[in-house]
């Protein structure tokens, strides 16, 4: 917030441009909703993946963050620590088929909507957890 720059790791794989590493970003409110759904359904047994089921890039996450802040994107790519380079996951996406089969039908919050809610209701000065939120 102070410097107005988001720092992301550079890519060390030619098939991924810097910041194009992909993650299944899941808003915490959706994670809670999914967990409560499973807890309330005794027939839902076993291990479940929770996620959005959609892989989005770190650059998209950064763009959503800057948009929520009302600022122009300023992303800087930094060296990844050497010890992480061959362990770093470049792509993650949850298979939520079992969750859907267990009756969870709600749509997940988009990366952009989740970022707007988080920034406006939790990062703004004077706001505290538990206060009324937009989502």
Is residue 50 a part of any domain in this protein?
yes
Q: What is the pLDDT of residues 53-97, one digit of tens each?
A: 999 999 999 999 999 999 999 999 999 999 999 999 999 999 999
Q: Is residue 133 part of a domain?
A: no
Q: What does the pLDDT look like over 100-130, one tens digit per residue?
A: 999 999 999 999 999 999 998 888 666 666 6
pLDDT of residue 3: 86
Q: What is the CATH number of the domain that holds 119?
A: 3.40.50.720
Residues spanned by the domain of 110? 6-123
Please state the pTM of the whole predicted model: 0.86
Non-local CB neighbours of 30 within 8 Å, separated by 6+ positions: 50, 52, 106, 108, 109, 114
Note whether residue 69 is domain-resident: yes
Whether 43 is covered by a domain: the verdict is yes
Judge whether 16 lies within some domain: yes
Per the structure, the count of domains in the chain is 1
Q: Is residue 132 part of a domain?
A: no
Task: Output helix, strand, coil percentages for the chain, rounded to the nearest 5.
Answer: 35, 10, 55
Asked whether residue 129 is assigned to any structural domain, the reply reads no
134 part of a folded domain: no
Mean pLDDT of 24-37: 97
């Amino acid at each position: 917030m102070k410097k107005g720059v988001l720092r992301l790791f550079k890519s060390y794989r030619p098939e991924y441009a810097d910041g194009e590493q992909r993650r299944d970003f899941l808003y915490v409110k959706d994670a809670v909703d999914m967990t409560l759904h499973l807890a309330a359904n005794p027939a839902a047994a076993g291990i479940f993946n929770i996620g959005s089921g959609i892989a989005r890039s770190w650059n998209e996450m950064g763009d959503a963050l800057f948009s929520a802040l009302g600022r122009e994107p300023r992303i800087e790519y930094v060296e990844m620590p050497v010890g992480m380079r061959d362990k770093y996951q470049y792509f993650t996406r949850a298979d939520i088929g079992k969750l859907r089969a267990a009756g969870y039908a709600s749509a997940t919050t988009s990366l952009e909507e989740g970022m707007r809610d988080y920034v406006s209701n939790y990062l703004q000065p004077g706001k505290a957890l538990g206060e009324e939120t937009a989502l």
